[in-house]
Amino acid sequence: DVKVTQSSRYLVKRTGEKVFLECVQDMDHENMFWYRQDPGLGLRLIYFSYDVKMKEKGDIPEGYSVSREKKERFSLILESASTNQTSMYLCASYTGAGGGYTFGSGTRLTVV
């Protein structure tokens, strides 16, 4: 089975800090995604990447950036964390050909 691993389950950061959320997949998938999940809003796409060093903005990219230096790793960066970025962050790897996603377990980020 494909495994998607997010490095932290829970994080607490201070306002203004630079925050890195890491995601690693083990199946050589080209497409990877970062979503944030908020109650009543479902999952909203922040950024995705379809190849190494290639990225595209999703629906809510403001305040975020991403890095994909290696195929297996896709990092989400909060340049200057704010309290409205407190959320659950989910990483996913796309299995291809309509196969859907494999999700990581999520990182619950609290910005204080």
Partner 1 sequence: AQSVTQLDSQVPVFEEAPVELRCNYSSSVSVYLFWYVQYPNQGLQLLLKYLSGSTLVKGINGFEAEFNKSQTSFHLRKPSVHISDTAEYFCAVSAGGTSYGKLTFGQGTILTVHP
Residues at the site binding partner 1, with contacts judged by CB under 8 A: 4, 31, 33, 35, 40-45, 48, 50, 56, 58, 90, 92, 94, 96, 98-101, 103-106
Number of neighbours of residue 90 by Cβ within 10 angstroms: 22
| Residue placing its CB nearer to partner 1 in the complex, 14 or 40 | 40
| Residue placing its CB nearer to partner 1 in the complex, 75 or 93 | 93
| Residue placing its CB nearer to partner 1 in the complex, 77 or 88 | 88
- Give every CB contact of residue 20 below 8 A, 6+ residues apart in sequence: 75, 76, 77
